[in-house]
A and B are shown apart, each in its own frame.
Chain A
Amino acid sequence: MAQSPPRSGRPPIQQLQTVADLLETPALARLYAHILQYGPVTVSEIVDALDIPQGTAYDYVQNLETTGLVEKTRDQRPYEYNGEPIALTLSTDGETQTITPALIAAVARRDEDEDIDVYIDRHGLDGLAVALAYAYEYVEGAVNHRIAARELDLSPLEAEIILQALEPVATKYADTAT
């Protein structure tokens, strides 16, 4: 079952497809996270900030605009774009996971942070989403790596590695965490 709040005005299954792209394509995730954080922005500003090819940036922005995750806020050239925060909740067999801008931002870091990349390889995106929830608590001081290790069934060392790797994302998105 997939649910999505109606705020983006896009049907859930269409969003799901874009979300799958975001989770699989770190560069697309970086672009979306950038627009969310700094928008409204122009494509050339994005190209400068993220160091991705201009053609790719145009394709990505268009793709996100089609699905409603990005909105054109200036109709004259140069066009400016703003981001719509995503919140897609997926439930299967009693397990529920919400895909949030913070999770997309964490995935976006896998190109630059190999610790996150290795963690996703070992524990999947669901594992990353759970670790991110612990990272909020870690930043607040409401958990430490030892307790997290036992609850996530990791070694204390691996727990500390992923909590530190996710610390910047958890810090940035702390206000939006539920």
Chain B
Amino acid sequence: MTTVYVADTGVFVRCGGPDKEKFQRLRRAVRQAGVSLCVPKRVYEELGGDPAADAYPSGNIPYPDGFEEGWIVVADDLDYTTPLVSTMMDETRRFIANETDRDEDLTEKADTALVGLAAQLLDTGEADHVVLLTTDKPAGRAAETLLPQHGFSDRIEFRYVSVTYLETLTADEFR
């Protein structure tokens, strides 16, 4: 059974800062378990997209090391022509708009990238099981609520990445 771990921007922000202890802990756990963290293109762009964020200790994230070492990988582009992917993204947009009490027009396609990727991984058979590591609660809840409605019961898990989660993380979390 293949489990794919999808990681969001918030995971890496939690790992930032002058002491890289949480980043090293994450690195060790992922590598010991012999898995990798898969990031949507959108997340990759968010992490590198703002030079002004370098002024923040938590904006100083050594994630490029993860790409070099191969334990962080960028996911394939989302194929919006796949019926499941486009349906999931539409439904997720509505779900997030509702959870956040915003107009649906104000949520963007990019907001749904995490759930879209989870749907694509399950649909193509690349993953039997997807674990979503994120601080985006609306998106996490959308994945947990909507994917089971499309036949993926028990195959999606949302983990909220708190400080405590990262401070106590071991390889067991990825096995």
List the interface of chain A (C-beta within 8 A of B): 114-115, 118-119, 122, 137-138, 140-147, 150, 155-158, 160-161, 163-165
List the interface of chain B (C-beta within 8 A of A): 9-10, 13-14, 16-18, 46-47, 49-50, 52-53, 55-59, 96, 99-102, 106-108, 110-111, 135-139, 141
List A contacts of B17 (CB < 8 A). Answer: 115
Q: Are A157 and B47 in contact (CB under 8 A)?
A: yes
Main SS of the interface on chain A?
Answer: helix
Q: Are B59 and A143 in contact (CB under 8 A)?
A: no
List A contacts of B107 (CB < 8 A). Answer: 147
A115 vs B136: C-alpha distance when bound (angstroms) = 20
Q: Are A143 and B57 in contact (CB under 8 A)?
A: no
Pick the contact of B59 from A144, A146, A158, A163 — CB < 8 Å? A158
Q: In the complex, how many angstroms separate the beta carbon of B71 from the nearest chain A beta carbon? A: 21
Q: Are A155 and B137 in contact (CB under 8 A)?
A: no
22 contacts between A and B (CB under 8 A): A115-B56, A137-B100, A140-B137, A142-B100, A142-B138, A143-B100, A143-B138, A145-B10, A146-B110, A146-B111, A147-B106, A156-B9, A157-B9, A157-B13, A158-B53, A158-B59, A161-B13, A163-B135, A164-B10, A164-B14, A164-B58, A164-B135
List A contacts of B18 (CB < 8 A). Answer: 114
List A contacts of B137 (CB < 8 A). Answer: 138, 140-141, 144
List B contacts of A122 (CB < 8 A). Answer: 52, 55
List B contacts of A160 (CB < 8 A). Answer: 9-10, 13, 46, 135
Q: Are A144 and B56 in contact (CB under 8 A)?
A: no
Q: In the complex, how many angstroms separate the beta carbon of B115 from the nearest chain A beta carbon? A: 12
Other than the known A142-B138, A147-B106, what 7 A-B pairs have Cβ atoms closer than 8 Å?
A138-B137, A150-B106, A155-B46, A155-B50, A160-B135, A161-B53, A164-B13
List A contacts of B96 (CB < 8 A). Answer: 144, 147
A147 vs B17: C-alpha distance when bound (angstroms) = 24
The 8 closest A-B pairs by CB, nearest first: A141-B137, A155-B50, A144-B136, A156-B46, A157-B53, A114-B57, A160-B13, A157-B50
List B contacts of A141 (CB < 8 A). Answer: 99, 137-138, 141
